[in-house]
Each structure stands twice: as C-alpha cells, then as structure tokens.
Amino acid sequence: MISDQVTKGADRAPHRSLFYAAGFTKEEIDKPLIGVVCAQSDIIPGHTHLAKLAEAVKAGIYAAGGTPVVVPSIGVCDGIVMGHRGMHYSLASRELIADSVETLAAAHCFDGLVLIPNCDKIVPGMVMAAMRLNIPAIVCSGGPMLAGRVNGKKTSLSQMFEAVGAYKAGIIDEEGLYKCELGSCPTCGSCSGMFTANSMNCLCEALGIALPGNGTIPAPYSERVQFAKHTGMAVMDLVRKGVKPRDIVTMDAIRNAIAVDMALGCSTNSSLHLPAIAHEAGLKLDLRLFNEISEKTPNVCHLAPAGEHYMEELNEAGGVPAVMKELADIGLLDTTLPTVTGKTVGENIANAVNRDPEVIRTIDNAYSKTGGLAFLFGNIAPNGCVVKRSAVAPEMRVHSCRARVFDGEDDAVKAIYGGEIVPGDIVVIRYEGPKGGPGMREMLVPTSALAGMKLDKDVALITDGRFSGASRGASIGHVSPEAASGGPIGLLRDGDVIDIDMDNYTIHARVSDEEFAERRKTQVMPETWVKGGWLDRYRRLVSSADEGAVLK
C-alpha cells in the first residue's frame, strides 16, 4: 500500500507517533488510509452540509475496512462573487483546488480518495487532481438544491439574477424583487438548474467516476447520506482491486460524457472542464469532437434555465441513468466501459427507467435532433467559441447583428441597464478571457439583464469570457484566441455586422482580412488591473479556453 511509506517499519516510528497524536489508533493506521477531501464551508450554500456527508463517507470506509482521513479544500461561490472583482478568482481557483488535493494526497501517502465537492470549480478541480495522482478515487457530490418558489412558480438563482434586470426595467417593483430574494434558494445544495455544478456532477456519473445518483439526488434528502455511505464502501473496493481514475476516464469515456452533456443541455463551462480533465489524464480533447457528437445526439432535457424543469424532477424521472439508457438504446454510448461501481456502463443502466417522458423526453420526441451545445468557428473565433444552443430562441439561431463593443463586463452592464442596447445589437465583451480578465469571468449579470429586460430574443452577446450555466439566450462565450492574446475579437468595432449560424457552427464578421490587418496596426491593449498576487502568476501561465484554460 502507498501508506506503508508513512506507517510501516522502525524508520516510521516518528510518523506513527504523529498519527497517534491526531487520535488514530494502531488498528486504524494498519489499514488503508483513504483521504476524504471535503469542501465544507459556511460561505457556499452548496457546501454548508458537506461535513455531514463526510461523516457518512467515513462510516462507509470504516464499514468496508479502511481508515478515513478528512482533509479540506477551498471553494468559491460563483453566485456571491458574480458581477465584481471576486469573479476573477473563480475559474482560477480550479487550479488551486487541484494543486491542494494533489499536495495533501501525495504528501501524506493516501491509498485512495473520496472527493466531496459540490459547486462550479470545485468538482473539476478535484477530478483533475484525481487524474494527476492516478490513485483509486471516487466522487461524492453534495447534491442539488431544491427549486425555490416565487408567486406559486418554481424558480432558481437564474431567475433571481433576471429579476434584477426586470427591476431595473420597471417590470417589477422593490417588493417583487424582495420576494424573489426570499424564495429563490430555499435549501442547501448546488443551485437547482442545469448550471455548471450540476452539469459536472452529472458528467461525473457519465464518465464513470461516481456512483449513479451523484448528479441528481437532492442535497436535503436522506438518500444523499446513504449515497455517501455507499461511496465510502465503493472506494475500498477500488483500492483492493487497484482500479485507478485513468483506467476509467479514457477517451471513450469522455465521448460518453459529451453525449450525455448534449442530451442534458449542460452548461457551456463543461467545455472548459472536460478538456482540462482530459489534459490531466494525458489526453487531448479537440472542441470539434463536441460538434461531431452533437450532430447525432438528441437534446432530450430542457432543465432550467433552458426550460421549466429542475434537478429534483430529473432525479424523480430516473436521473442520469435514464438519460444514458435512452442514448444507449440507439447506440450512442459505449456500454462496455468500466466504472467505479465495479460494473460496466451497460450493467449500471440496464434497469434504468424513464419515469417521466416530459422531463426526459424519448428520442422520438426530443427537443432537437442535435445536442445542447454548439461550437462556432469563423474569423472572430478561429479556434472556436461555444453557445448553449438548447437555451437559444429559434429565431436567434441564425441571424445577423450589429456589434456594440466593450473592453470589459462593467461598461457593458452599464450600457444595458442604461437602455443603450437595442434589438439587433450583439454586445461584444472582450479582454475577459483566461489571460485578459484574468480568470475568465462569468457574464451572468449582462445575460440576465438582457433576459430580465425582455431583450434575450432580440440581442446576442459574445465574449472571450464565459457564462454561468444559469445564462440563457444567444450568449456566445470562450472566444479563442482571446483578445489579450491577439485574437481578432480584439479588432472588432462598433457597427461591424456579425453573421451567426448556430446550425452550421459558424460565426463571421463582415470584415476583410486586410481591414483586420489595418486595425491591428493601431490596436492598443488595455493595461491589466492585476499588479501582484497569485492572479498575476495565473495570468502569465494560463492557456486559452479551447485548451481548457489549464496552466502551462
């Protein structure tokens, strides 16, 4: 066992004395040491209950013959840091999380890992570390929040942000805004739509590195505690059999995950995190693979913000296994692949049942014949950009628009709230990429402002930043190369006409190569606001969005 390096032999007597000082017994340190990485904190609603789940995981590990060792992880609440400088730290924190999990596990010689994340960058950060370490590991998310209720309708955080736009436009008053505040987020758990956290927790199931139910069992349910105990038991089986993350997360498993991504209509952020996870597993994920899989994968779920259904309803309908069964029945999944259950994908989903064909539509009644995400390529984005196509109004999928250009999110938001944006415009927000931001801020405030002001069917938005999974409308992000790296989005000017064709995966500005070359001669890059700290290191080392914004 790996832990023999710190627990066995006369030379390790000092090490054992420190284990005894921490309260461990001889019997415990003679068993496999399993790191339980818990992201508990009081600032993230998705994480406030994770200590209870860690105790359940510990019980499962003890029951299966191991010794659990709880260690911490940091996290950032994307909702709380939205719309101000705090958001610069969100995506960047993914790398800190991966580094810290690697440090704690490698330095203390853990034999296996149970990862307990729940929100946006914490899930992929922990999974990236598992790929890097390649010791037996399994994910146990904290589960989604239950949907809120405002004026008798189910709701979530995305409607809360849109309510601000409605308030600014005079559509609702202060009392109406306060009602939304009180009713939108009623429980602990990751916010209740198919946003980034829930997307990644579902995709962990699809990859095979979490037990079925990881993405959908609601956080407040006792079933979530039971799930955590079973996860603790399962990691011991992985340790005994020597099954490692890279045995499970292969390119074929990633193809399965992308198919599930397309069927569910996941967050655009999955296209940052899956390439980053692949990178840590020694694999190269080309964004064009998303389009290839999208072309043949029906979109069968419209969860908030794309539709009216929430994670609890997906769970009741049969969860991710039911979605995977729909796909497997038409040959869109490799069902022979191994998973952390000890069974194949096919064995895991053999008895799955779609209990609500409205929440999980059948293939014959899919929302569309193609997947939820689309990657567009053209002279604005030679290396690609992404849109959550399933959340775009049909009339906006193919259209032309006039550029309104802003060097940063803050000025764009002022213009939107100030009534300066009109139907037919496309709001261009640049210098917000991984390097230029730095940290690739989410643009939920401007997209929600447009939606709240009833402009989401008339105005598009494009950025080298990214979007929250809660964004909807013609919101196109991750433009690569980004403006700060010399990408052509930095050469756009007010009034440029941009042609968008989401069905054929293209985006093109009616600007000639010669005109772009002339503009480049006079281009002035904005000076970064970052003058020190670790964000400055991040800015200098981070790669582009099409590579997953990994550090190089």
468 catalytically annotated = yes
CA distance 459 to 461: 7
Alpha helices in 191-249, H assignment, sequence order: 196-207, 222-241, 245-248
Whether the CB-CB separation of 73 and 50 falls below 8 Å is answered with no
DSSP letter, residue 527: P
- The residue type found at 29 is I
Beta bridge partners of 427: 404, 461
Among candidate residues 219, 158, 142, 145, the one with its CA nearest the CA of residue 186 = 145
For the record, the structure tokens of 381 come out as 């984005």
CA distance 110 to 157: 38
CA distance 403 to 489: 11
Beta bridge partners of 67: 33
Give me the helix-helix angle, 319-328 and 196-207, nearest 10°.
60
Instruction: Identify the three-state secondary structure at position 440.
Output: coil
Q: What are phi and psi of 8, to 5 degrees?
A: -115, 145
Which H helix or E strand runs over 446?
A: helix 444-452
Q: How far from each other are the two terminal CA atoms of the chain, in whole angstroms?
A: 32
Give me the catalytic one of 93, 141, 468, 544.
468
For the record, the structure tokens of 100 come out as 């810290």
Residue 273's alpha-carbon distances to 109, 257, 460, in angstroms, are: 27, 12, 24
CA distance 2 to 7: 10
Length of the chain: 552
CA distance 171 to 69: 52
Strand 67-72 versus strand 33-38 pairing type: parallel
Q: Which residues of 213-233 are buried (b: 16+ CB within 10 A; e: fewer)?
A: bbbbbbbbbeebbebbbbbbb
For the record, the structure tokens of 3 come out as 């832990």
Q: Hey, which residues are catalytic here?
A: 468
